[in-house]
Amino acid sequence: MKLGELSAKLMGLALVDAILVASSILHMLNLANLIEEVQITHRRRNSKLKKGGFADEGSATTESDIEETLKRLVSEVGKSLEEVFEALKNQIDPHLCLCLFYIF
């Protein structure tokens, strides 16, 4: 979806729906910030523990974003969008889940 289309869609929402979308986006951004902080902490801890051998590769952190992860679940793992949606819906705020799939 293009930015203009998304903007038009958001501008057409009722106030109650706009508040729900804004709240969901806020939760998504807070979650992204938390994930980033955890990754930074793990990276720092792993760099202190590294000894320079091949065993260090097993503790390497991976870099990916939510869109990459969702695409990988569908294309590589073989999960359907419905399965991923249901799993996420049971773990996070349903409105946030809808926002993620709207973007995906």
Q: Work out how many domains the chain is built from and give that number.
A: 1
pLDDT, position 14? 93
Of 45, 29, 46, 48, the C-alpha closest to 96 is: 29
Domain that holds residue 9: 3-103
Whether pLDDT at 89 is above 80: no
pLDDT, position 70? 76
pLDDT band at 100 (very low <50, low <70, confident <90, very high): low
pTM of structure: 0.43
Q: pLDDT tens-digit profile of 23-50?
A: 988 888 888 888 888 888 877 777 776 6
Query: What does the pLDDT average to over 10-21?
Result: 90
Helices (H) and strands (E) in the chain, counts: 5, 0
What would the two tokens of residue 49 be? 């523990």
SS3 40: helix
Whether pLDDT at 54 is above 90: no
Whether 22 and 11 have beta carbons less than 8 Å apart is answered as: no
More confident residue, 54 or 20: 20
